[in-house]
Structure 1
Amino acid sequence: MHIPPHDNRNRAIVDMGDARVPLVYFNILRLKAGESFGYRLPGYESCVVPATGTVEVDCAGETFVDIGQRGADVWDGEPEGVYIPSDTPARITARRDSEVFVAGARFDRTLRPFAVRAGDLDVVQYGSDETKTHRKIKHILGAACHDRVGRLLVSELYTVGAGGWSGFPSHKHDTDRLPDETRHDECYNFRFRPGHGSGLQMLQRVDNEPGDAYHVMDGSTVLIDRGYHPCCVLPGYEMYYFTILGGQSQRSLRQFFQPTHADQVKTIPGIMDMVAKFR
């Protein structure tokens, strides 16, 4: 499903228990310097990631200062974040005007909060200009945090160069059937550079049968409940998407490549390194 760009007024775009993607949560906060926002998510762990700006986060008796160093947009520096345990109050205070992503996943245990600084990111780059699949992934809560987080995976994905495809070969993760696949609900929020750029999100429910396609713009949110879901950006533009994954039975993601296109894995340099970073 596509949720068009809109002013959500700091209210959840994907709330707890959403019927379409019940395993994930997503909010965007827009805070002026000095403004604060408090929240608590019973049964959901979360991660606070400034898209732009700098914030202070208070949680479980700890204060995490100077989180986020980006200026104009998500291309202007590296991401940082703070992990917020399930059912734990958190307060975010903007030190300068900030736009803040709050990503969540269903998880019933309460762990400990921690900060992810720019130097802690797990970065992987794969694909190639020739295959039109060149991209970089910056894992904020990735494999490096596996023993500190419950079911939540949080990453930022960037196309490298202008134009091209992402999420190809097409894959899905909507059924728990280990070792081949896990059920992970997913949510994207897209940005484009320049901002008037746009792209396409495909969602093919069944191999070799027609699916859906959504025109995504700067600020679009897409919910991935089931099916194969590649996306692309128009030639001449760069694409970014903030990615939230919430697992049903485990944190590690097992992707199932679409049978019709699975052999394309062999044509894309470094793709199996990318797959490994989600486990």
Structure 2
Amino acid sequence: MMELQKDGTIRLEIRYEGGDAEAHKLDMAALGESLQGFSRIYAVVGHFAATGQYAKQMQALSVRTYAQEAEPKCFSVAAIMSFATNSGWFQGLLPSVITAVTAYVLHRCSGNKEEMKHLRDLLEQQYGKDQKMMERMMDTIDRLADGLRPSVRKSVVPVGSSCERIDLYAEGEKHQTIDQALKDSVMSSVDEELINEKTYSVTISEMDYERRTCKVRLVGDENDDSLDEDGLPPRISGVITDPAVELQGNLYLQAFMSQRPLDVRAKATLKDGSITRLYISDTA
């Protein structure tokens, strides 16, 4: 059974196999996206395992992942997961919980429910017949997994283009393989869903008064840390249904001209866990 190191760390390895990786090289752009994805996945999952909580913002996480120099073989990145705190939620089971939740995140994003049973079995070992606590943990993990969808999509980018698969190791034991089938499932499109109205903080980068449409960038807690080619949060299409947009000097125009963030009330459509469109009804 995997155990936490005496220095409070877990040793990880992300091994890219086949394709370009056989010559100890990998496409740099694909590798960069993949490591960004794994960095967030491991940090969020590690924070949950240490505290029992789901935190979205990187600065709020109590776990950090660090790359280390690796021995030459295929193409691999050695890493360590370092814990700033451990509340004892999964005392003695931390490495096992991390690998199980990581697998759950990957397979929930791919829609493979059969691979999700191991995590529930592990939680039953921890909480026994306390079904209330079990359901609370599973609900938190489901929200965590859904929030990590963009990071999962980044992590699998090299598969099929620069390598044949990615093997994940913890404490020297392989615990997960990401192959073309898993990547295709993760990357496949799903129908958009509409979520209830809430407050978003946005910057408006483009406006069309005739059509009442705009382009916005999310700022604050709703931004999932993904960036476009210009190093900015990606632009999202918006439809402004608020009649105030027709008034001279309205708040939308002021925000557009000044490029300052504006809090708005909006419904959002989601696709693959990411916001694709905002229907803006009012300012907040």
Q: What TM-score do the two structures reach when normalised by structure 2?
A: 0.26
Between structure 1 and structure 2, the one with the greater Rg is 2
Q: What TM-score do the two structures reach when normalised by structure 1?
A: 0.26
| Larger strand proportion of the pair | 1
